Amino acid sequence: MRAHLARVDAVIVQAVIAGALSFSHLHDLAAAAGQDGWKAWAYPVSVDLLLVAAWRRMRQQQRAGQVAGGPRLWFLVALAASLGANVATAGLLDLDDVPAWLRVTVAGWPAIAFFGGTLLAHAPHTPETPAAPAPSAADTPAEPHAVPSAVDRPDREALPSSSADPGPAPESAAEPVATPTPASASVVALPPALVDRVRTLAEEHRSTTGRPADPDAVRARLGLPPSMTASVAAHL
């Protein structure tokens, strides 16, 4: 933590020193070009503010995935003005006899800075949109298992009461032929009460006709769907 604070302090100190030197050079150049009084102090503020504003807008557009050509252009313009003032005041230019082109450049800088700042302020800004998180396995609804409706019903609804049971149906002349159950049919576990009822109907059929009960006929007596024939046959 202490090393991190030391690095931050060093960066801040360096930025303050560099900013103060650049500010002083811009002031001296503006004063030598005929901008005296408060106007000489306003020039470095204008250059530094345009430099910072262009840098921030350039970074914002880059993070949003947009082309940052405009902010980059104004950043280079402000950087050239700051570097030019630093170089001009390094002894390469006679500040007592400033050339006319430099006086014109310094006098026209306020209009250039105002134009650049207006374009940066009114440039369309798209806020960053965070990426949507991928759905986790916990958020994905589990697929319900298909269960026959007859198994979900209570036994009192699936089984007829003993008082309403009309007894074994009279046998017709032609005994229905038991249809073989496909090997691929799925066998669903029956409730214990339903298993007892299946066996009771099978015993009644055997004692009445002397032949084994047909699973499909027992299934029809119980009111079960055709898909439950294999389950009924497994308990006969």
CA angle 217, 222, 228 (to 5 degrees): 75
Q: Is the pLDDT of residue 55 over 80?
A: yes
Asked whether residue 156 is assigned to any structural domain, the reply reads: yes
Q: Is the pLDDT of residue 30 over 80?
A: yes
Q: Among 65-69, 104-108, 112-116, 160-164, where is mean pLDDT lowest?
A: 160-164
Average pLDDT of 81-98?
Answer: 84
User: Do 103 and 156 reside in the same domain of the chain?
Assistant: no
Average pLDDT of 108-113?
Answer: 92
pLDDT in tens, 157-203: 444 444 444 555 444 444 545 554 444 446 677 777 777 877 888 88
Bigger pLDDT: 218 or 67? 67
User: Do 92 and 188 reside in the same domain of the chain?
Assistant: no
User: Do 157 and 117 reside in the same domain of the chain?
Assistant: no
How long is the chain? Answer: 236
Residue 227's pLDDT is: 73
User: Do 24 and 107 reside in the same domain of the chain?
Assistant: yes
Winning range, highest mean pLDDT, from 84-98, 149-163, 212-226:
84-98
Asked whether residue 133 is assigned to any structural domain, the reply reads: no
- Locate 196 and state its tokens: 């007892």
How many domains are there within the chain?
2
Q: Is the pLDDT of residue 151 over 80?
A: no
* Dmax (CA) of the chain: 133
Q: Among 37-51, 164-178, 215-229, where is mean pLDDT lowest?
A: 164-178
Asked whether residue 126 is assigned to any structural domain, the reply reads: no
User: Do 52 and 100 reside in the same domain of the chain?
Assistant: yes
Average pLDDT of 139-147?
Answer: 51
Residue 161's pLDDT is: 46
User: Do 7 and 103 reside in the same domain of the chain?
Assistant: yes
pTM, two decimal places: 0.47
Domain that holds residue 14: 2-121
Asked whether residue 173 is assigned to any structural domain, the reply reads: no
Give the closest residue to 30 by CA, choosing from 117, 110, 116, 112. Answer: 110
- What is the 3-class SS of the chain, one letter each residue? CHHHHHHHHHHHHHHHHHHHHHHHHHHHHHHHCCCCCHHHHHHHHHHHHHHHHHHHHHHHHHHCCCCCHHHHHHHHHHHHHHHHHHHHHHHHCCCCCCCHHHHHHHHHHHHHHHHHHHHHHCCCCCCCCCCCCCCCCCCCCCCCCCCCHHHHCCHHHHCCCCCCCCCCCCCCCCCCCCCCCCCCCCCCCCCHHHHHHHHHHHHHHHHHHCCCCCHHHHHHHHCCCHHHHHHHHCCC
pLDDT in tens, 192-210: 777 787 788 888 877 888 7
Asked whether residue 140 is assigned to any structural domain, the reply reads: no
Task: Say how far residue 142 (Cα) sits from the centre of its chain.
Answer: 21
User: Do 33 and 98 reside in the same domain of the chain?
Assistant: yes
User: Do 113 and 155 reside in the same domain of the chain?
Assistant: no
CA distance 55 to 38: 26
User: Do 112 and 57 reside in the same domain of the chain?
Assistant: yes
User: Do 97 and 21 reside in the same domain of the chain?
Assistant: yes
